[in-house]
């Protein structure tokens, strides 16, 4: 597969011969009839709505601490309920496999013994936490909240682009985007049956309570642990805590006494059973991990290992979601579940394998090369868009540290019409559904966060790189 | 509720209240400074403003050329060296509010955020008389609106009670300091009470707490120093008097104790201070020394603040 010509991109709304795909009929009709001024107004209203409720993110590396809005596009992205049903089955399977792999990584490592995953990919993974070896978290689940990034290339093919098993963010945009759309486009909601997403906070709370430690009362206390107001996702933290009706705590609000965790309240210390943490592993306990962390709770790890507190997601889940392990996900799924994977991986070349490296080096101009531990679209090479000099520099890096890289074909990401300055125009999108995994089952609200590359021709959807978002509608057809 | 959250609510209110009191002090100083000296008396109003804001030592170190209008305004309004300047108070109040966005109502947040945004657009260096007056008025309005928004929109739960505790502890402290300094300046040792005092000076105290008109309604007399003290210390009808503040503090501390099912040192201290104020007579206070009385009160008030922090906020 190589960079496809513009016409070859799969347009999720329009069929090349002039028709409209299932699920988009009403929207397409509405867009045709709406005068431009109406769309301009709705766009302004949306911006006003987001500005007023303060849904912003802080930009890393920007010393001004600027609070920015993520651009929002008013044209919804549609999935039919049939498409969604298939996705959900695949997502559930994927998260089960991820959980099984992480548990095994910290257990007997049967998958290594079976010769499927090389041991060093686990043990030398920077996200591997030796502290977790032979420790079973409450409920036996490591990943309670996963964000699985999905891309589409044609009518039938969805690929998993990336698994996020640490502290996936963005779910507040999914919820606020829907809130905004229901205000802006009531006429569309009136004629389409769009599956609701607003029960996500309840589903999240149920999931978290289901994995409370055994010593917890029948009404377990859940808190959301945030690094604080200066974190880029603070809005989301306070939003979720508010919607779940749980306390939003910082590290200094928690204390550990006799291996139990308490929060400091006006009525004295109060037991905490489940911590939904939005702090990375390394910062969560200055005694066990980074001693200079001011964000964490001293002694938390010891309470965790005594089985008195649930940390969600578990410590060390990053061992399952990096790009090197990603390439093994089909084998991982088969090994633990005995099933064929429902969702495909993007075909991936592991540069650590000499044959693959040779292939990648000879095809740099048509491949995307990614750093195994990189994220956010930084540190990658998009072959077709790179200059010869850039490719040569990258080739040198590749040869020096082949283990650090994987390569994938440039995907012909699907497009959805967006309302941009020039009018309606196709832009590339991806999708991040959120999968919740509790002791009482898997939950997945229909939809997710659609991210869109607003720059014409761009394939990078990350908000830090000029991406925006859309509301995602799962509709019955 | 989380102690940190209660702490944020408590200080949010203290700083808003403090900003208002500072604005009132400056407002009155400006008014007095504009009078011919025959009316205003010999004392330096700007010096008195600094003394009331309880920062004389630090000020002298920073401004060796003394309490000129420019120095005082710069120091009390926007000095970064003064952690209790009006600007710093509003900054701190907003930072506290931002940390507890979910615990305050959107009305309260918007008032503070708006006040903060407005303030950032002002250039205080060489600010004109009228622009300063306008700014001081806006600060007072902001505090009044904030107070009103809290009163009218907050759920009556411990969040509201801690927010109120901050308001009244700060108000009691500011009132006691204001009285102490004014008496100190206006009543030299050898001068008998009631002798040779200037109407404008005394009414300025009342004016700075917005109590000049109500004074006349209550006493139907000319402004007299012992009545001013009586009004601002012992009269429950006067909403900023020390006793009024303490009746409120008692009330909110009782509500908290009832909700939590236990009381502690904070309730005991508040109750005993209230009882002292209720049993006090103005002539006895003057006999044993108003200054001593006020110094004792400020100390007791600080003790209450420390007890609240110890008991609930840490």
pLDDT for B43 equals 60
pLDDT for A122 equals 95
Residues B203-211 have a mean pLDDT of 84
Which residues make beta-bridge pairs with A275? A223, A311
Asked if B314's CB is within 8 angstroms of A264's CB, the reply is: yes
Q: How many Cα atoms within 13 Å fall on the side-chain side of residue B5? A: 22
Q: Say whether pLDDT at A377 is over 70.
A: no
pLDDT for B221 equals 86
Nearest CB neighbour to A253, from listed B2, B256, B312: B2
Q: Give A106 or B45, the one with higher predicted confidence.
A: A106
- Nearest 5°: CA angle at B224, between B218 and B228? 60
pLDDT in tens, A277-323: 999 999 999 988 888 888 899 999 999 999 999 999 999 999 999 88
Q: Say whether pLDDT at B39 is over 70.
A: no
Q: Say whether pLDDT at A418 is over 80.
A: yes
- Nearest CA-CA partner of A2 in A450, A340, A327, A367: A367
- Band of the pLDDT at B99, cuts 50, 70, 90? confident
- Which residues of chain B does A229 touch, with a Cβ-Cβ cutoff of 8 Å? 98-99
C-alpha separations of A236 from A133, A164, A349, B107 in Å: 32, 17, 35, 21
Nearest CB neighbour to A242, from listed B99, B102, B162: B102
Nearest CA in chain B to A53: B106
- Which residues of chain B does A248 touch, with a Cβ-Cβ cutoff of 8 Å? 102
Burial, A9: exposed, middle or buried (Cβ in 10 Å; 0-12, 13-18, 19+)? middle
Q: Say whether pLDDT at A3 is over 50.
A: no
Domain spans of chain A, in order of start: 350-410
Asked if A264's CB is within 8 angstroms of B4's CB, the reply is: yes
Nearest CA in chain A to B1: A265
Residues B227-255 have a mean pLDDT of 96
A67 and chain B in contact, CB less than 8 A: no
Backbone φ and ψ of A164, nearest 5°: -120, 105
Q: Say whether pLDDT at A353 is over 60.
A: yes
pLDDT for A466 equals 73
Q: Say whether pLDDT at A376 is over 80.
A: no
Asked if B98's CB is within 8 angstroms of A264's CB, the reply is: no
- Band of the pLDDT at A62, cuts 50, 70, 90? very low
- Nearest CA-CA partner of B309 in B262, B264, B245, B242: B264
- Which residues of chain B does A245 touch, with a Cβ-Cβ cutoff of 8 Å? none
Q: Say whether pLDDT at B243 is over 70.
A: yes
Using CA of residue B275, residue B213, residue B171, residue B300, what is the dihedral sign?
A: negative
Buried b (16+ CB within 10 A) or exposed e, A359-380: ebbeebeebbbbbbeebebebb
pLDDT in tens, A123-181: 999 999 999 999 999 999 999 999 999 999 999 999 999 999 999 999 999 999 999 99
Q: Select the highest-mean-pLDDT range: A35-39, A99-103, A172-176, A455-459.
A: A99-103
Asked if A253's CB is within 8 angstroms of B4's CB, the reply is: yes
A241 and chain B in contact, CB less than 8 A: yes
- Nearest CA-CA partner of A271 in A257, A292, A284: A257
Q: Give A112 or B186, the one with higher predicted confidence.
A: A112
pLDDT in tens, A76-100: 999 999 999 999 999 999 999 999 9
- Which residues of chain B does A250 touch, with a Cβ-Cβ cutoff of 8 Å? 4
B124 CB neighbour count, 10 Å cutoff: 17
Q: CB within 8 A of A268, min separation 6: which ones?
A: none
pLDDT in tens, B133-150: 999 999 999 999 999 999
Using CA of residue A453, residue A458, residue A459, residue A461, what is the dihedral sign?
A: negative
Q: CB within 8 A of A209, min separation 6: which ones?
A: A220, A222, A274
- Band of the pLDDT at A65, cuts 50, 70, 90? very low
pLDDT for B62 equals 86
Q: CB within 8 A of B35, min separation 6: which ones?
A: B200
Q: Say whether pLDDT at B32 is over 50.
A: yes
- Which residues of chain B does A230 touch, with a Cβ-Cβ cutoff of 8 Å? none
Which site among A49, A231, A266 would you substitute to test the B interface, given the most B Cβ atoms closer than 10 Å to its Cβ? Answer: A266
Asked if B6's CB is within 8 angstroms of A266's CB, the reply is: yes
Which site among B101, B155, B163 would you substitute to test the A interface, given the most A Cβ atoms closer than 10 Å to its Cβ? Answer: B101
Asked if A267's CB is within 8 angstroms of B4's CB, the reply is: no
Asked if A242's CB is within 8 angstroms of B2's CB, the reply is: no
- 3-class SS at B125? coil
pLDDT for A60 equals 47
Lowest mean pLDDT among A66-75, B48-57, B206-215: B48-57
- Nearest CA-CA partner of A95 in A342, A262, A282: A342
Lowest mean pLDDT among A39-43, A253-257, B37-41: B37-41
Q: Say whether pLDDT at A64 is over 70.
A: no
Q: Give A225 or A323, the one with higher predicted confidence.
A: A225
Nearest CB neighbour to A238, from listed B6, B102, B312: B102
- Which residues of chain A does B258 touch, with a Cβ-Cβ cutoff of 8 Å? none
The CATH class given to the A350-410 domain equals alpha beta
A238 and chain B in contact, CB less than 8 A: yes
Which residues from B are below 8 Å from A when comparing CB atoms? 1-4, 6, 98-99, 101-102, 158, 162, 256, 260, 312-314
pLDDT for A378 equals 59
Q: Say whether pLDDT at A223 is over 90.
A: yes
Asked if B313's CB is within 8 angstroms of A265's CB, the reply is: no
ipTM of the complex: 0.80
Mean of all residue pLDDT scores within chain A = 90
Nearest CB neighbour to A264, from listed B3, B99, B158: B3
Q: Say whether pLDDT at A74 is over 50.
A: yes
Residue A186: left if φ>0, alpha if ψ -120 to 50, beta else—which one? alpha
Asked if A266's CB is within 8 angstroms of B162's CB, the reply is: yes
- Which residues of chain A does B6 touch, with a Cβ-Cβ cutoff of 8 Å? 266
Domain spans of chain B, in order of start: 1-154, 159-314
pLDDT in tens, B157-172: 999 999 999 999 999 9
Nearest CA in chain A to B7: A266
Q: Select the highest-mean-pLDDT range: A408-412, A459-463, B158-162, B216-220.
A: B158-162
- Which residues of chain B does A221 touch, with a Cβ-Cβ cutoff of 8 Å? none
Asked if B313's CB is within 8 angstroms of A266's CB, the reply is: yes
Burial, B190: exposed, middle or buried (Cβ in 10 Å; 0-12, 13-18, 19+)? exposed
- Nearest CA-CA partner of A101 in A304, A318, A281: A318
Nearest CA in chain A to B311: A266
A264 and chain B in contact, CB less than 8 A: yes
pLDDT for A404 equals 87
Asked if A249's CB is within 8 angstroms of B1's CB, the reply is: no
pLDDT for A435 equals 98
């Amino acid at each position: 597969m190589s960079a496809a010509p513009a016409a070859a991109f799969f347009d999720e709304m329009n069929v090349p011969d002039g028709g409209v795909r299932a699920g988009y009929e009403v929207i397409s009709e509405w867009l045709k009839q709406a005068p431009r001024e109406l769309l301009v107004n709705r766009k302004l209203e949306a911006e006003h709505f987001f500005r007023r409720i303060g849904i912003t993110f802080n930009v890393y590396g920007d010393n001004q601490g600027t609070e920015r809005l993520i651009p929002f596009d008013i044209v919804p992205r549609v999935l039919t309920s049939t498409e969604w049903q298939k996705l959900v089955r695949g997502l559930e399977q994927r998260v089960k496999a991820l959980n099984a792999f992480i548990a095994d990584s910290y257990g007997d490592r049967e998958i290594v013994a079976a010769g499927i995953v090389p041991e060093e990919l686990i043990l030398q993974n920077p996200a591997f936490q030796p502290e977790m070896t032979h420790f079973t978290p409450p409920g036996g689940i490591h990943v309670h909240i996963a964000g699985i990034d999905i891309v589409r290339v044609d009518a039938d093919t969805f690929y998993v682009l990336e698994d996020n098993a640490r502290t996936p963010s963005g779910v507040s945009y999914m919820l606020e985007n829907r809130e905004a759309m229901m205000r802006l486009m009531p006429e569309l909601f009136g004629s389409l049956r769009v599956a609701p997403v607003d029960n996500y906070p309840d589903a999240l709370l149920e999931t978290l309570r289901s994995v409370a430690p055994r010593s917890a009362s029948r009404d377990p206390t859940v808190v959301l642990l945030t690094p604080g107001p200066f974190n880029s996702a603070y809005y989301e933290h306070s939003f979720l805590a508010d919607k779940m009706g749980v306390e939003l705590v910082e590290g200094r609000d928690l204390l550990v006494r006799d291996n139990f965790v308490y929060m400091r309240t006006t009525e004295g210390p109060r037991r905490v059973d489940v911590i939904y943490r939005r702090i990375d592993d390394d910062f969560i306990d200055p005694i066990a991990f980074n001693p200079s962390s001011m964000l964490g709770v001293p002694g938390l790890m010891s309470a965790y290992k005594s089985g008195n507190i649930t940390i969600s997601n578990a410590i060390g889940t990053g061992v399952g979601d990096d790009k090197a392990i990603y390439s093994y996900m089909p084998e991982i799924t088969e090994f633990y579940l005995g099933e064929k994977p429902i969702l495909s991986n993007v075909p991936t070349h592991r540069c650590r394998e000499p044959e693959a490296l040779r292939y990648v080096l000879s095809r740099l101009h048509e491949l995307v090369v990614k750093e195994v531990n990189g994220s956010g679209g930084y540190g990658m090479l998009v072959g077709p868009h790179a200059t010869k000099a850039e490719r040569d520099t990258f080739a040198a890096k590749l040869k020096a540290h082949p283990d650090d890289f994987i390569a994938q074909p440039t995907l012909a990401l699907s497009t959805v019409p967006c309302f941009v300055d020039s009018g309606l125009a196709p832009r590339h999108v991806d999708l991040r559904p959120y999968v919740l995994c509790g002791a009482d089952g898997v939950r997945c609200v229909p939809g997710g966060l659609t991210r869109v590359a607003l720059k014409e021709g761009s394939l990078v959807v990350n908000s830090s790189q000029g991406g925006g978002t859309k509301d995602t509608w799962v509709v019955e057809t | 509720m989380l102690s940190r959250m209660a702490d944020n609510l408590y200080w949010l209110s203290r700083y808003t209240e403090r900003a208002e009191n500072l604005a009132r002090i400056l407002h009155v100083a400006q008014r007095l400074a504009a009078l011919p000296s025959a009316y205003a008396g010999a004392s330096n109003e700007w010096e008195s403003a600094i003394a009331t804001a309880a920062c004389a030592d630090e000020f002298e170190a920073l401004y060796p050329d003394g309490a000129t209008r420019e120095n005082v305004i710069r120091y009390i309004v926007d000095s970064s060296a003064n952690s209790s300047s009006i600007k710093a108070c509003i900054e701190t109040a907003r930072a506290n509010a931002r940390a507890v966005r979910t615990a305050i109502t959107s009305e309260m947040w918007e008032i503070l955020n708006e006040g903060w945004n407005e303030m950032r657009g002002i250039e205080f260096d060489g600010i004109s008389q009228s622009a300063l007056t306008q700014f001081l008025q806006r600060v007072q309005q902001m505090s009044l609106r904030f107070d009103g928004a809290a009163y009218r929109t907050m759920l009556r739960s411990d969040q509201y009670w801690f927010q109120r505790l901050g308001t009244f502890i700060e108000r009691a402290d500011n009132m006691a300091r204001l009285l102490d300094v004014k008496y100190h300046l206006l009543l030299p040792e050898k001068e008998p009470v009631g002798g040779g005092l200037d109407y404008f000076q005394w009414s300025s105290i009342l004016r700075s707490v917005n109590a000049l008109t109500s004074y006349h309604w209550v006493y139907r007399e000319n402004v007299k120093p012992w009545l001013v003290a009586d009004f601002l210390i012992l009269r429950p009808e006067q909403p900023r008097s020390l006793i009024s503040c303490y009746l409120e503090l008692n009330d909110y501390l009782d509500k908290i104790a009832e909700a939590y099912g236990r009381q502690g040192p904070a309730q005991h201290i508040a109750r005993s201070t209230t009882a002292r104020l209720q049993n006090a007579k103005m002539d006895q206070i003057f006999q044993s020394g108003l200054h001593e009385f006020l110094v004792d009160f400020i100390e007791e008030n600080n003790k209450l603040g420390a007890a609240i922090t110890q008991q609930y906020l840490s």
